Amino acid sequence: MIEPGTEAPGFSLPDQDGTPVSLADFAGRRLILVFYPLDFSPVCTDQLSLYQEVLGAIEARSASLAGISVDSFFCHRAFREHLNLTMPLLADFHPKGEVSRAYGAYREDRGSSNRSLVLIDDEGVVRWSYAAPSSKEVPGANLIFDALESLDRA
């Protein structure tokens, strides 16, 4: 998993509409990257639904949140609509898992991302990261809020 203090690797990935989204688009804002295995899987559905419930509170803390998986942007569009998500979902589809690998969140043995969270500060530096020990564990929203609070105190 990428270490705090590391400059966040740049990326440009299509969102659920096929529009390129890059790390530079979030310059000057804090960003939480949510790496997750696959759209429509039961645990990922629970995870993204949970984050949608608290998205307003995350944004109130001057942070944006974006999901990343190896699914195509077509799949992301259907998943986003199915769950009524408003956060962008970015397709790390081709080359498969390239961005997930750059952040240390790719699982070669599964061919998908590990369930991981990365907090990038407004200057593009990784300030916190978390990798779930099991693909069945949903990293709670409390982890995100604790990381944001820690960054506020720094």
Choose the catalytic residue: 2, 23, 44, 119.
44
Is 44 catalytic? The answer is: yes
26: its two tokens: 């979030």
Active centre residues (catalytic): 44
